[in-house]
Amino acid sequence: MDKFIIWNSSLKGEVEVSGSKNASLPIMAATLLTDEECRISGVPNLRDVHTMIKILEGLGKDVEFQDGTLIVKSKKSRSYTAPYPLVRTMRASFCVLGPLLAKRRKAKVSLPGGCVIGPRPVDLHIKGLRELGANIKIERGYCLAEAKSLSGRHIFLGGEFGPSVLATANILMASTLAKGETVIESCACEPEIVDLSFFLKKMGAEIIGEGTPLIRVRGKRSLGGAEFTVIPDRIEAGTFLAVSLATHSPLTIKNTNPLHLTSVIEVAKKMGASVKINSDSLSISPPSYIKPVSITTLPYPGFPTDLQAQFMVPLSLAKGVSLVTEKVFPDRFMHVAELNRMGAKISRNGPYAIIEGVRSLYGAEVMASDLRASAALVIAGLAAQGKTEVLRIYHLDRGYSHLEEKLKKLGAKIKRER
């Protein structure tokens, strides 16, 4: 098991963002909808991507992955089982359920695992697929689904904490091979869902309304192969914005779409930063001192829950009191105790975190609990006085491609050790 050792660092320069993890994984699952070859470029070299490759190979696909390009071909195997040892490590792997059911009329997919950030039930996935005509039961930790055929329906996907991105992806993929028209209402509007829709369209799907709360899909008899390039990772780009703010470092973030980060850029400006926006990059000049702000996480286009932990670090160094309200995953505060070990003053009350700014953070030995908490602790280590050790960084490797190398090129004092 690896750890990071980090020292206080001043950074400067340009960093290039990798392709989107959260777009790549559902797009990889969508290759199960066809027997033809698919070529996907811009795929980040991540642990989660390699896990999905293993799942696809177990389901009868031949997968080549080199220099960010995936080539997915079909073999004769027609397996329909995604086993627990793989699915337990990554929640996104559950989105093979929809395409398996649509293409092979049968699916056995383990209930998912992933980061420990609170309850994330799969009830909306099951509800939507049942409405398309699937028979589904939960047995011994597996979701068992069968359908002689799927038929289009009007499906409402609203949940207690807003739309579900993965449920939207699952229902969207399944409906591309359903008979007639499917209307998905209260669906997720995230750029990753839009990217999945574009990929499905390249495969021959007929989809209208992606990026809005209502998507219409007219089912096809079959889908073909496609070539596609995934969007840049907006969460990685937002993470580097938080790095800039916490370490008072001017940075240029390349290969990103600023339109996917509007709410995040607005928060950075409220904190006092100057942000220059170009078509595929942005440059941030941090303020001499950070202003306190209130952040509420919301489904897209609101502030992403996946950036809540990272932005809590610069807010811990703000002049004043900030409030973070978590409305997507109310229990997503595992990083708070570790940041407090480094000298932060954060108190939690249910879905709220009250952050009293301190003059400085101090290096300590801390433990990562999940993917985005890992990134927050790395940022804190760069901003803290002295040496910080971040344990269990395998979480980080699930979602950030070569993060330490990118930070080193910016001047960070960071190294990985066993």
Active site residues: 115
Residue (of 265, 239, 269) closest to 376 by Cα position: 239
Pull the structure tokens for residue 387.
């040496």
Q: What is the CA radius of gyration of the chain?
A: 21
Non-local CB neighbours of 309 within 8 Å, separated by 6+ positions: 332, 335, 372, 373, 375, 376
The DSSP call for residue 47 is H
Cα–Cα distance measured from residue 27 to residue 99, given in angstroms and rounded to the nearest whole number: 11
290/268 Cα distance (integer angstroms): 9
Q: Which amino acid is at 286?
A: P
Residue with tokens 């996104």: 92
Q: Which two tokens stand for residue 393?
A: 């960084």
Q: Label each residue of 291-304 as H, E or C.
A: CCCEEEECCCCCEC
- Alpha carbon distance 57, 67 (integer Å): 19
